[in-house]
A and B are shown apart, each in its own frame.
Chain A
Amino acid sequence: MQTQFFAHLRCRECGRLYPKEAIHVCEWDFGPLEAIYDYEAIRRHVSRKRIESRAPTMWRYREFLPLEGEPSVGTQVGFTPLVRSERLAKALGVREAYVKNDTVNYPTLSFKDRVVAISLSRAKEMGFTTVACASTGNLANSVAANAASAGLESYVLIPSDLEASKVLGSLVYGTRVVGIRGPYDKVNRLCSEIAGKYQWAFVNVNLRPYYAEGSKTMGFEIAEQLGWRLPAHTVIPMASGSLLTKIAKSYQEMIDTELVEKAPFAIYGAQATGCNPISDAFRKGTELVQPVPKPQTIAKSLAIGTPADGYYAIQTMRKSGGAAEDASDEELLEGIRLLAETTGIFAETAGGVTVACARKLIASGKIPKDGTVVLCITGHGLKTAEVLTGVLAPPRVIEPSLREFDRLVSSDLAHASIPAKMET
């Protein structure tokens, strides 16, 4: 049933059309290929009611995803909570704040389950038996897990210095993990060359036009969960910049197919200061993204020095009236704590970057204080927990003695760090 909506691939640069194959760049100008749909047919077919009647997964927006048939991998992915938090809004200094909480995405606790669900479903449709990826960790975890459940062979290539949890979180699924000496950009370049030689489905290389579309589901969900309206301000972390462009695309598609009222939506991008090629170019008023040779940030999942979609991310932010910001390691650690202490959501380093940048964008007036802001939190904090070692005070250790505990609480009360309320 999908065929009637997903039409073909098209070069974003020159507009040449391509068949729906495992290809990702235009032969003429190397421009990225993008999935194109028959929006008129989608508009006639979808309705809020029809979507609401479906299971709470990303596949409730299946008409907007580039598959020929039904999904076969990652059928439970998506529809994560959109959490409204007054405490976070107050801390950020904005009227209304929401967290799109992909830290609890299924099965591997990051937004990457969305892009993997679509790309592995497409890989199976095309008859591939081996799947692969270049990853900063989250994607590797998701490819490994979803390939395991689908019975696909997999290779995941990662920088050799990733967080321990992200490495273990791939190995456990029995995938073939290959660590590459060097930053992510070198892993990426190698994968492009491997993809040209081996007949594998590289989700973010030759299957990238399919893969990237999965990110749109985060945007569809946000709008539906807000009661079928677009948020005025959305803050999104940027590594390659792909997620940001696809969330903007999802909002526009919902307008075009009359699922939401037309309304302005400003898109804001967040990067780490130690690897900020996109926010730096935005600030300088250029579209020329200067690559960063040696990214230096603890937000490793955002450490892409040559972002593939940087140019388009800048255009998206400018056109939508948004802005870019970046945050230092210290600021992102504060961001992680702020989010945890106000919402009970433990985000990985990229989430800390998003929170810290949202705070700066609000403080500088780029996001108005009387506005509604959605923060896209894309990965779980347990995956990068090691960055908090030495940042959080260690637990106090006492003997199993009530007297010692009383002394501890008295001291807390004296410092007024907990509410003075005791059972008597």
Chain B
Amino acid sequence: MSDLTTEQAIPVRIPTPLRGLTGNKDLVSVRGSTIGELLEDLQTQFPGIGERLFDQTGALRRFVAIYVNGEDIRFLQDQKTPVCSEDEVSIVPAVAGG
């Protein structure tokens, strides 16, 4: 933890469909100061996860939802949403409920 302001380790919850790529771990630790940076580090640590989360245009897939402390990032600042080590970040399949 050389630089606490930009390089914090943040726990991210991994949904069942992605656990095959994280060694079956449901919680992983990634670094970054925004959601976008976290997702980049996630792809570096776990190759293959990127193409599951993003479509060919580089946008988050229609059925992928990301939450910070239970709040949908679309209601925050999308991938620019800032995060710190106290935050709880979750990747959740959007197809549920109703």
CA distance A186 to B52 in the complex (A): 24
- Cβ of A239: which chain B residues have Cβ within 8 Å of it? 98
Complex Cα distance, B26 from A237, in Å, reads 36
Residues on A with C-beta less than 8 A from B74 are 291
Q: Please report the C-alpha to C-alpha distance between residue A153 and residue B80 in the assembled complex, in whole angstroms.
A: 42
CA distance A239 to B98 in the complex (A): 6
- Does B92 contact A192, Cβ atoms closer than 8 Å? yes
Q: By the criterion CB–CB under 8 Å, are A304 and B97 in contact?
A: yes
CB distance from A195 to the nearest CB of B (A): 8
Q: In the complex, what residues of A have CB within 8 A of residue B16's CB?
A: 23, 195-196
Contacting pair B52 A308 (CB below 8 A): no
Contacts of B61 in A (CB 8 A): 29-30
Q: Determine the interface band of chain B, counting residues with CB < 8 A from chain A.
A: 20 to 34
Please judge, given known A-B contacts A29-B61, A193-B92, A291-B75, whether A242 and B98 are in contact too, CB under 8 Å: yes
**With the chains together, A191 CA to B15 CA distance in Å?**
12
- Residue pairs across A and B with CB atoms within 8 Å: the count is 99
Establish whether residues A240 and B97, one from each chain, have CB atoms under 8 Å apart when the complex forms.
yes
Specify which of A27, A187, A197, A241 is in contact with B20 (CB 8 Å cutoff).
Answer: A27
* 28 A-B residue pairs with CB within 8 Å: A23-B16, A23-B17, A24-B93, A24-B96, A25-B93, A27-B17, A27-B52, A30-B17, A30-B52, A30-B62, A30-B63, A31-B63, A185-B72, A186-B70, A188-B97, A189-B65, A189-B67, A189-B90, A191-B96, A191-B97, A192-B93, A193-B92, A196-B15, A204-B98, A205-B96, A205-B97, A306-B72, A308-B97
Cβ of B94 < 8 Å from any Cβ of A? yes
A412 in the interface, Cβ–Cβ < 8 Å? no
User: Which residue of chain B lies nearest to A190 when distances are taken between CB atoms in the complex?
Assistant: B70
The answer, yes or no, to whether A381 is at the interface (CB within 8 Å) is no
Least Cβ–Cβ distance between B83 and chain A, in angstroms: 17
Cα distance A197–B13 in the bound complex, in angstroms:
11
Given the known interface contacts A29-B52, A291-B75, A311-B62, the answer about A189 and B70 at a Cβ–Cβ threshold of 8 Å is yes
B residues sitting closer than 8 Å to A (CB atoms) are 13, 15-18, 20, 26, 52, 55, 61-65, 67, 70, 72, 74-75, 90, 92-98
Cα of A208 to Cα of B94 in the assembled complex, Å: 12
Scoring A residues 313 to 341 as 1 if CB is less than 8 Å from chain B, else 0, what string do you get?
A: 00000000000000000000000000000
A351 an interface residue at 8 Å Cβ cutoff?
Answer: no
Contact of B90 among A193, A241, A304 (CB under 8 A): A193
With both chains docked as a complex, state the minimum distance between the C-beta of B53 and any C-beta of chain A, in angstroms: 8
Q: A202's closest neighbor in chain B, by CB?
A: B96
Q: Which of A1-39 contact B (CB under 8 A)?
A: 13, 23-32
How near does chain B come to A186, taking the closest CB pair, in angstroms? 6
In chain A, positions 167-191 with a C-beta closer than 8 Å to chain B are 182, 184-191
Least CB distance, B77 to chain A, in whole angstroms:
13
A interface size (C-beta, 8 A): 41
Say yes or no: B94 contacts A308, CB within 8 Å.
yes
CB-CB under 8 A from B64, the residues of chain A are 30
Chain A residues lying within 8 Å of B18, measured Cβ to Cβ, are 27
Q: A205-B97, A307-B98 are in contact. List 17 more A-B contacts (CB 8 A).
A: A25-B63, A29-B63, A30-B52, A30-B62, A30-B63, A30-B93, A182-B70, A185-B97, A189-B70, A189-B92, A192-B93, A196-B16, A197-B26, A204-B96, A205-B96, A242-B98, A293-B75
**Cα of A309 to Cα of B90 in the assembled complex, Å:** 21
Contact present for A28 and B52 (CB under 8 Å): yes
Which residue of B is nearest A186, CB measured? B70
- In the complex the two chains form, is B94's CB within 8 Å of A30's CB? yes
